[in-house]
Amino acid sequence: MNLAVVRNIGSGSVLRTSEDTASFEQEIIDQYALAMAAAGLTDGYVSNCRRVIFQFAEPLKGPLWTASCEDGDRFLSEQRRAGRTASTRSTKAVMLAQFYDFVIARYQGDVAALTGSVITQPIDEFNRPPGVSGSRVRVPPSDADIDTLFAAWRASLVDARKYRPAARDYFAASLWRRLGLRINETVMLDLRDWRPDLGAFGKLHVRFGKGSRGRGPKARLVPAINGTADLIDWWLGDVRHQFGNDWADPDAPMLPSERHDPVSTRCQRVGAEALRQGLARQTASCLPSWSPRLTPHVLRHYCASSLYAAGMDLKALQELLGHEWLSTTTGYIHVQKDHIEAAWVEANRSAEERLSTGR
């Protein structure tokens, strides 16, 4: 990522030429990039933010500090007409809003002194697209549907045309179902990441957890609850060694492909798309009513919902799923249809017991 040389913005008293204005505008953008880098955001995220800012600025009639809510309306409308998904539009809106929050907080005085302009936030509560979690609810299948799928899937492994990849895909999907791992977290597991010596169940060292707002990987230890310890014992004891002689190499991938590295002879890492396709094939075969709606992320929602229904509290679920905010975890909880009715019955039963004891 290349940045322009940044001068002291407060040093100038007036912007005399168009070149001065363009230079001042560029310096503000570069200052924002430096602030994001200081906050630990990745180069990729910083580059994407800069790209969105330039895309927004291109059709403006004046510099960035002259943008209005109407310009925000125009930009987001163009994104919608261009066929951008709700997720993409929301991400771009958040990037622009954060940039203008930065400019208003740090450089409102400089802009006013140099240009006489008052900066406004072009992305407000009226034109900001709803987040994905608010516009798309991933309600998972029922317990009975999940049990049907995985029972049939496990039974089909014996007759699979290619046993090794079939067993690998089943193992990966079982991690999504039981622990709620993200697909990239699953792909990036190495053999060394299974630590049976930690805790009562053993733990998986998830080294490539998702960092918030583009930050780098956020590692966490995930206990092998919900039957996962037995699942890993089956995978490592019965299947993994069939892929190659790297089964004892701690740096070898936990989920390998059938290809080998020509130099190290170690198994190559399976790709995320291969695991997605494995789930899609089995869903179409064993649970066609959910094809193609059942995805790795829907299984992550299922894991959260099923563990919550079994009594796990929200804070523990937050740590298990690797969420920074508890509000994100609550969006993953989808209770059964009779949840309210059951709570009502329990409340009335408790009230009756208290009245009866009081008499």
Number of Cβ atoms within 10 Å of the Cβ of 158: 8
Catalytic residue among 89, 168, 182, 203: 182
Q: Which of 220, 211, 217, 215 is nearest to 39 (CA)?
A: 215
Q: Which residues of 83-109 are buried (b: 16+ CB within 10 A; e: fewer)?
A: ebeeeebbbbbbbbbebbeebeeebee
Catalytic residue among 128, 164, 210, 218: 210
Q: Name the phi and psi angles at 222, rounded to 5.
A: -115, 115
Indicate if 213 belongs to the active site: no
| Number of residues that this document lists for the chain | 359
Catalytic residue among 300, 301, 302, 308: 300
Q: Name the phi and psi angles at 267, rounded to 5.
A: -60, 140
Q: Which of 295, 127, 207, 355 is nearest to 303 (CA)?
A: 295
Indicate if 337 belongs to the active site: no
DSSP 302: H
Q: Is 334 helix (H, G, I), strand (E, B) or coil?
A: coil
**Alpha helices by DSSP H, the chain:** 18-38, 43-57, 69-81, 86-115, 132-135, 143-156, 163-179, 183-187, 228-234, 272-286, 296-309, 314-321, 326-330, 339-358
d(CA 7, CA 24): 9
Indicate if 300 belongs to the active site: yes
Q: Name the phi and psi angles at 223, rounded to 5.
A: -65, 140
Beta strand 203-206 with 220-223 is: antiparallel
Indicate if 334 belongs to the active site: no
Beta strand 256-260 with 194-195 is: unpaired
Catalytic residue among 74, 128, 297, 334: 297
Q: Name the phi and psi angles at 106, rounded to 5.
A: -100, -30
Contacts of 193 (CB under 8 A, 6+ apart): 204, 205, 206, 207, 254
d(CA 47, CA 148): 45
d(CA 184, CA 201): 23
Indicate if 332 belongs to the active site: yes
The catalytic residues are 182, 210, 297, 300, 323, 332
